Structure 1
Amino acid sequence: MTAEAPVHRARRSWSDVLLNVWGVLVMLFLFAPIIVIVIYSFNTGRLLVSWDGFGFDAFLTILEKPAIQNAVRVSLITALFAAIIATALGTLAGIAMARHPGKWVWWFLGLLLLVSVTPEIVDAVALLPFFVWLGQDMGIGLFNDGLVRLSIGSSLFATAVVSYIVRARLVGMDANLEEASSDLYAKPVTTFRRVTLALAMPAVLAGFLLAFTLSLDNTIVAAFVQVSGSTPWPVYVLSAVRSGLRPEIAAVSTIMLLLTLVALALVALVLKRAGDSATQIARTMTGG
């Protein structure tokens, strides 16, 4: 028997080490503020920046303050309605772009990109007089409701995101199943419901969850279009800065962070169960 030659590990170059260190520093730069706010959510002090000790007082305080509960409730309801609106519009737009290609698609993608990159302050300034015109001048009382205003305002960016995701899902799929359904004399509505929508469903669910999480944080638009009695959580936090941030602000922020992480995990799980690889999941979630 001959002895096996020892296996020598290749020495890592300085460039690899530096790139790894740089990657760690970038991750710390991105997540350090989030880690700090999570830690300070367990602060028992009166003010957020004054650490007095570790405890769950801030989380218990949430149950004692109706103003916080109402702000969180408004944000969750608004995010749910905005996600429904964005999913309905974005799904139809994404399917249309994937199944009816042409020059119009690039123009439409340009419009979606414009919606995505337009500063929120521009959307907010445009939405406020628009809602006032519809609600007061046109006499459509629906647009005087704060939840309606917040839901529509939050759904703008989310609709573009859902459109990207659904299009990315269907572009890489052959339309043979839909053509076969038509050859078997299925009605267009039946083909859409049982074939096209079924193929796009993982992306639709992913888009819905992402739209929900994106709509939870829409501070600028919400600050402009809200009405009395429908103050969402981001606006509540903004107003609380004037009197000093309290630990319960960090506690609610931590809960919302967990909610966002759960939603993103569900997105990845839905796409994974649909048979997507890690690369495909990343591509779908980013609309690539």
Structure 2
Amino acid sequence: MTETLTETLLRQDEAPASRAPKNLRRAKRPWSDVAFGVWGVLVMLFLFAPIIVIIIYSFNTGRLLVSWDGFGFDAFATILDKPAIQSAVRVSLITALIAAVIATVLGTLAGIAMARHPGKWVWWFLGLLLLVSVTPEIVDAVALLPFMVFLGQDLGIGIFNDGIVRLSVGSSLFATAVVSYIVRARLVGMDANLEEASGDLYAKPVTTFRRVTLALAMPAVLAGFLLAFTLSLDNTIIAAFVQVSGTTPWPVYVLSAVRSGLRPEIAAVSTVMLLLTLVALALVALVLKRAGDSATQIARTMTGG
């Protein structure tokens, strides 16, 4: 009898605890949370629906991109059979790599200077970088074309007659501003005590820069390099103006292909380049995460905030 009464009391004590989670689970979510969730899904669909469509149509076996005949990998195989496509992709990759190197070198030096030598000049310089960032690409393209012709033909600097050089310099303009923002955002929140300590220990300025300052900024430098590479891959407007015969990049090739009708291999190469961009962005996040940054800090660094 005593055991039965004890078990009954224990069951009564445990019953409210077991019922509590059910009651909590039954609580209705506010209508505003549901509305914002639905709105977020709709925005994501609006942003990514065209990309999803082009990925699907890259597996189209039809002759034209808009004419679906069936699912297959014929478009990807066609890439290996068309030298024009291979040349355009190769030019784009080489140009993006060189532009990323130029932007990383210039942007890293500018970002370190702004972070370690603050003053009124920084705000003027940031204003110039902002001007570069917001200037329409068509304006940059129209300005770059006569400038390149002047350097290459009027001044006789033959290197500016080369198509790869023209494309690399033109693509590095916006990317340099992006790298500057990222490196500055990385260093501006870090104390300069390590660099001062290196100077107190009689290290040369070059040694301090190489072993301390650059080491602290390295995650942002790598992130800036990868972002500059991805930004330079699709610099269509500037590429269309400054290119020369024999060095047609992929975006310009796609524009010329529109006149005769887009074919599935265009979507196939676009899908490959999209995957390459996603891999680069994933590497950016991985580099910053391994450097100890939180998700908020990674987003702040990548946006230059």
Deviations, residues 239-260 of structure 1 (Å, cap 9, x unaligned): 0000000000000000000000
- Pick closer, same or farther for the CA change 1:50–1:7 going to 2, 3 Å: farther
Distance in 2 of aligned mates of 1:5 and 1:245: 67
The SS at the match of 1:179 is helix
Distance in 1 of aligned mates of 2:276 and 2:85: 17
Deviations, residues 211-265 of structure 1 (Å, cap 9, x unaligned): 0000000000000000000000000000000000000000000000000000000
Distance in 1 of aligned mates of 2:280 and 2:233: 12
Note the C-alpha offset of 1:7.
7.2
Distance in 1 of aligned mates of 2:140 and 2:298: 30
Which 5+ residue runs of structure 2 have no aligned equivalent?
A: 1-13, 20-26
- Structure (1 or 2) with the larger CA radius of gyration: 2
The SS at the match of 1:213 is helix
Q: TM-score, structure 1 length as denominator? A: 0.98
Distance in 2 of aligned mates of 1:81 and 1:5: 69
Which 5+ residue runs of structure 1 have no aligned equivalent?
A: none
Note the C-alpha offset of 1:37.
0.2
Map 1:1-288; keep pairs closer than 5 Å: 4=14, 10-288=27-305
Deviations, residues 120-160 of structure 1 (Å, cap 9, x unaligned): 00000000000000000000000000000000000000000
Deviations, residues 147-196 of structure 1 (Å, cap 9, x unaligned): 00000000000000000000000001000000000000000000000000
The SS at the match of 1:8 is helix
Note the C-alpha offset of 1:8.
10
- Pick closer, same or farther for the CA change 1:5–1:20 going to 2, 3 Å: farther
- Pick closer, same or farther for the CA change 1:64–1:6 going to 2, 3 Å: farther
Note the C-alpha offset of 1:11.
1.6
Note the C-alpha offset of 1:6.
5.0
- Pick closer, same or farther for the CA change 1:5–1:95 going to 2, 3 Å: farther
Distance in 2 of aligned mates of 1:134 and 1:96: 29
Q: TM-score, structure 2 length as denominator? A: 0.92
- Pick closer, same or farther for the CA change 1:7–1:285 going to 2, 3 Å: farther
Distance in 2 of aligned mates of 1:5 and 1:84: 67
Distance in 2 of aligned mates of 1:79 and 1:246: 25
Distance in 2 of aligned mates of 1:231 and 1:21: 43
Show structure 1 runs of 4+ deviating over 6 A.
none
Matched-pair identity in %: 92
The SS at the match of 2:72 is coil
Distance in 2 of aligned mates of 1:101 and 1:25: 43
Note the C-alpha offset of 1:13.
1.0
Deviations, residues 37-95 of structure 1 (Å, cap 9, x unaligned): 00000000000000000000000000000000000000000000000000000000000
Distance in 2 of aligned mates of 1:142 and 1:14: 63
Distance in 2 of aligned mates of 1:235 and 1:121: 14
The SS at the match of 2:166 is helix
- Pick closer, same or farther for the CA change 1:166–1:5 going to 2, 3 Å: farther
- Pick closer, same or farther for the CA change 1:61–1:176 going to 2, 3 Å: same
- Pick closer, same or farther for the CA change 1:191–1:50 going to 2, 3 Å: same
Distance in 2 of aligned mates of 1:94 and 1:148: 24
Distance in 2 of aligned mates of 1:245 and 1:5: 67
Distance in 2 of aligned mates of 1:34 and 1:161: 24
Note the C-alpha offset of 1:281.
0.5
